[in-house]
Amino acid sequence: MTPQIPGYALLDSGDGRKLERFGDMVIDRPSSLAAWRRRNDALWESADASYMPPDRWETGSSRFQTWKAQVAGVSLELELMSNGQLGIFPEHALYLPRIGEALDRFQSLGRKPVRVLNLFAYTGLATAFCAARPDVLVTHVDLAKRAIDWAKRNVQLNTDAPDRVRWIVDDALTFMAREARKGNAYDIIIIDPPSFSRVSKNSSWTLEEKTPDIVNLTLDVLAREAGVVFFTNHSAASTSDVARNIALDRFSDKGVEIDIEPLSLKEERTVRLLPAGSLITLSHTA
């Protein structure tokens, strides 16, 4: 899955950094995976902002901190955050067309509204994408209130009907367990669990140890008729196979289609790919 993403470009990478364009802004950031050499030193001189760990941005004379960009057709507010993040993980834009196809299929079957659950939903790229469609209701779940507030602004940039989104400030696993007890289910589930999560001062987990719980809870709230899950994995490669095997067990190897594919960002002018995790797509066909 390596198409170019409208509004975004990986201009160059190497020597432990990556040079990206988001809308009109060119951003230079560290990348531990970019262990190769840079191809075009002149491009790096065009950076509007460069991140210097642990918490400093260099922006030259422009001195900006926020800007707006349209990525994969979704309007977003982006920000130079102190941890080097911007409010978007561009590899997630790679599978938005798949989500669109799933929405089209449900709507062609007369499903109104299509129920979407976005977990660990961050600043709402997928939420804004889905909420811009008619007859779609999105439940957006994130533990960080600041991320929820940011996502609300992104949704408002993309639709005049923000009431299509239900906002939940909660731990995703706790929320799914509660929804399962209520018997609630969703047609499309988008889930992007972090490699490490601190739920509270005294509670934390890693994705490797929590994958069985996450997968089982996700399947507990997936619609029994033709539900679809988009599960992104940025942890160990084995996590994807663990998730796949748990899902196969749940469905006794029948009535389920599971695909695992890499998420990679292709450089704009070369054939090189920057790894960005993997995508597990699970379709319940029974």
**Tokens for 41?**
């030193």
Q: What is the DSSP string of 19-75?
A: EEEETTEEEEEE-TT--S--S-HHHHTT-SEEEETTTEEE-TTT---EEEEEETTEE
Residues 29 and 15: their CA atoms lie apart, in Å, by 11
* pTM tops 0.75, yes or no: yes
Residue 1 to residues 13, 121, 265, 273: CA-CA distances in angstroms?
19, 21, 9, 10
pLDDT above 70 for 286: no
By the 8 A CB rule, do 31 and 274 touch? yes
pLDDT-derived band at 116, boundaries 50, 70, 90: very high
| Whether pLDDT at 1 is above 60 | no
Q: What pLDDT digit, counting tens, does each position of 30-89 carry?
A: 999 999 999 999 999 999 999 999 999 999 888 899 999 999 999 999 999 999 999 999
- Which of 219, 207, 214, 217 is CA-nearest to residue 256? 219
DSSP string, 207-240: HHHHHHHHHHHHHHTB-TTT-EEEEEE-S-THHH
pLDDT at 161: 86
Q: What is the pLDDT of residues 198-224, one digit of tens each?
A: 777 788 878 888 899 999 999 999 998
Cβ(5)–Cβ(94) below 8 Å = yes
DSSP character for 92?
Answer: G
Place of tokens 């409208």: 6
